Amino acid sequence: MSRLGKKPVALPAGVTATIADGVLTVTGPKGALTRAIRPEVTLTIADGVVTLTPKAGNELAKKLWGTYAAHVRNMITGVTEGYTRILELEGVGYRAEVKGKQIVLSVGFSHQVPLNIPEGVSVTVEKSVVTLTGIDKDVLGQFAANVRKVKEPEPYKGKGIRYRGEFIIRKQGKKAA
């Protein structure tokens, strides 16, 4: 039994949710998000409350129940407050800039690395801090991971791209004899 799935999800003021043909649409002040709902989980919307129930006797439904409850909560938070991920560039000469629909990273390679910014994500760069904002938690998190993957922090000097608040365990270098 899913503890998250058992709790009904309340819709705050200004947020509407509709389901049609197995697709959930949540609309709020910041925008609209859609997600396909598998038939193993039944989703009902009534009196400003979203309730999820699994199909009886289906093991997959029990697994998806809490997952979809979390997705619905994330969608509601996204259209009301939005999500933010902050990345820090650490290293001499490491910088980023936004050019149109791309973010161009200069992180110690012989070339610059351009990455396409996904639809619905906005990027701002101030010195060595890259701020990513958007309403879809999945898309935002995946794009932040893709940016970080260009130059992951290394354990000796700590140079690379890291999330704000991420702790990098440092290793000791070679010792002189």
Which residues are CB-neighbours of 166 under 8 A, at least 6 positions away?
Answer: 153
If asked whether residues 55 and 124 sit together in one domain, one would say no
Q: Specify the pLDDT at position 4.
A: 80
The CATH number that applies at residue 149 is 3.90.930.12
Helix runs in 10-95, H state only: 59-80
If asked whether residues 47 and 20 sit together in one domain, one would say yes
pTM over 0.75: yes
Q: Where among 28, 48, 80 does a domain terminate?
A: 80
Instruction: Say how many Å lie between the first and final Cα of the chain, rounded.
Output: 60
Supply the mean pLDDT for the chain: 92
If asked whether residues 53 and 93 sit together in one domain, one would say no
Q: Where among 80, 108, 123 does a domain terminate?
A: 80
Q: Which residues pair with 54 in a beta bridge?
A: 41
Q: Walk along the chain (177 residues) and give the pLDDT tens digit of each residue.
A: 678 888 899 999 999 999 999 899 999 999 999 999 999 999 999 998 999 999 887 888 888 999 999 999 999 999 999 999 999 999 999 999 999 999 999 999 999 999 999 999 999 999 999 999 999 999 999 999 999 999 999 999 989 999 999 998 999 888 876
Give me the domain span that covers residue 157: 83-163
pLDDT tens for each residue of 147-161: 999 999 999 998 999
If asked whether residues 144 and 99 sit together in one domain, one would say yes
If asked whether residues 75 and 101 sit together in one domain, one would say no
122: number of Cβ within 10 Å = 12
The answer to whether the CB of 64 falls within 8 A of the CB of 40 is yes
CA distances from 109 to 17, 52, 129, 152, 160 (A): 46, 49, 19, 13, 11
If asked whether residues 119 and 57 sit together in one domain, one would say no
Token pair 């890291």: residue: 162
If asked whether residues 12 and 42 sit together in one domain, one would say yes
